[in-house]
Structure 1
Amino acid sequence: MGRRRRTTLDESTPRQPLTPLVRPNGGSESELDEYIHMGEKPPEEDDLFDDIPEEESSEDEDAAIPSIERDTKLEEEIEQEKYIPLEKLIADVAETGTSLDPVRMYLRDIGRDPLLTADEELELAQRIEAGSRALAEFEKRTGIHFAPGENTVARFKHALNEIDRLGDPELISEMEEKLLDGKIAHQRLAQSNLRLVVSVAKRYIGRGLNFLDLIQEGNLGLLRAVDKFDHKLGFKFSTYATWWIRQAISRAIADQARTIRIPVHMVETINRQTRVQRNLQQELGREPSFEEIALEMDFLEPDDANRVRRAMRTGTELEPDVRRRMERAAAKVQKIQRLSQDPLSLNTPVGTEENSSLGDFIEDDSIPAPENSATIRLLQEQMGEILDQLGDREREVLVMRFGLKDGITRTLEDVGKQFNVTRERVRQIEAKALRKLRHPLRSRKLRDYLG
């Protein structure tokens, strides 16, 4: 049996001029919200600081993506931007200070893929669905299972490679065409919406990732949207994909933009606390206390929170156990605030001419202040002049006993061994030398250095 030459993506999707997208009527906004957020499992915040474990890869990657709310205004703006000429889009990106050469090349490349009409979008979604059914049938008939988390395009490729390897004529005739068509439709739907990713990504410039990295992460979100899109619900694909693209970019910023990585669920908590603190500041007209923020963040059980609020209103004392729990909640707020601080490099340029760095303005605690250094040097000179008025043995005994040369003090016995005399003799020499130093003519030179 002769092998049929496979059709490539380029051959099945000829280059065409850009065509406008007809907006299909779809389901209600509330239904779309439920569809988008279906199966989400936001992390519990009460356990954030008990022990933060290392994040492990999960079969359900959706649970690891930070939860964000839909922005219908943004969705409408992005929908309109799909019709903006490429040069206008390039100019918009240039205003952000982004390097244009690689961006211009990328935008011109994706601009060759035509936008889809409503009918074309529906047809591609149906072909992807048929291909997905063929994938399920392939797994059932061959017993070959795909790796958890493997995206749909990778599964199509995997299945097609396995069909080639098995060489089963029945499998080839029944499934190869559906799998190949599903793969091509998946790629076409994704490629025709790459401009959607650019429109979303440009709104995140300046968040710690460069523009092309934002686009790359957004493209991954677009692929997830293609995998999960259900055309039977009647929603526009661009509306659904916008949410997934924003999710992927938000996760990348949370995961990669900081010098010191913070777990994604902690970034969500930091953002929530920032909003709470800002709202309380507007309501109270002052900076809220840690306790007030903790109450608003629901870091306490309802009963404890009611007791604390009642105590705040009446000015009464809290029970010891409630006070301890309140202190722990306030400490949690402080920890979150410390985590939210961005690290700064000591080499960060300072000033318009950038000829100084931040490190130049930070005090070095290991070096004495100039005035202290001058005082110590003068004291050493004065002490040296006074000690020179003593006998050699008296001077050496005081230097060794008080560590005037090396900072190491020695016992009477240690000094006695050095001079081969008894410790009592050393004590007598020391007492005589100190009496000489206490003479007003000598001691007045040192009084100014005494505290």
Structure 2
Amino acid sequence: MTNLAMSNALVSSSLPIPSALGSLDAYIGAVHQIPVLSVEDEQALARRLRDHDDLNAAQELVLSHLRFVVHVARGYNGYGLPLGDLIQEGNIGLMKAIKRFDPNIGVRLVSFAVHWIRAEMHEFILKNWRIVKVATTKAQRKLFFNLRKSKTRLGWLNAAEVRAVAADLNVSEREVVEMESRLSGRDIGFDLSADEDDEHAPPAPAAYLMTHEEDPSQAYERADSEDNQLELLREGLLQLDARSRDIIKRRWLDADSKVTLQDLATEYGVSAERIRQVEANALKKMKGLFVA
């Protein structure tokens, strides 16, 4: 059973679906009205889902645990992201957990599901906290969610605190310092601010950040021109006789083994002047293609 199938089952359920309510407060109030399952009921529903792919059982398991998703989401309020979005992501994690839950492992579903719920919320926070993703490696992700809790005061960490945090989280001191710097920064618009008449506003990065790379449009035009020239060169070579084509290739196109007029004259049994004339006539004929 896919997460999409489970979601569709929830939408079509005859049970009161909190997502149909008009506000977040109403949703939170509604999920807290849904009864908590007993251990026996939870085990029975989990077995029906596992053994018979029973979507009705999946509905009840999901709905009875929505209040826990809300509880977890509230723990991430400090990241400045909408609580409703965090709850939505957590609900996805809950459905993934229910899909994988084995009632024979001897733990409650809520204990098993917390990992999946937090994982979805973490991924959402990392993608949306800043324009540029601030944590990509395992160590960076660990620091992102733990560094602020490790700080005991405002301001930058001192050397002793950096060492303590690094030891506690099993990461390098350099990674601690780098993540603290990333967390202390903020997003800045690349273009001018909305209030362009503000003479005291600092200049936007577009005013002083320069790139030395080629403009994409110019790079495309250059590459397209080179392709066209190569195609003309191929056509020009095909219009030459075999001897002229060989002379042009070995005199102009073989950079690693360029031969002299005398070498070709000896090979073809003619004078060097004759080879030069053949070469000149071939180049003139090919040049007409490029000029046209």
The structure with the larger Rg is: 1
User: What is the TM-score with the length of structure 2 in the denominator?
Assistant: 0.48
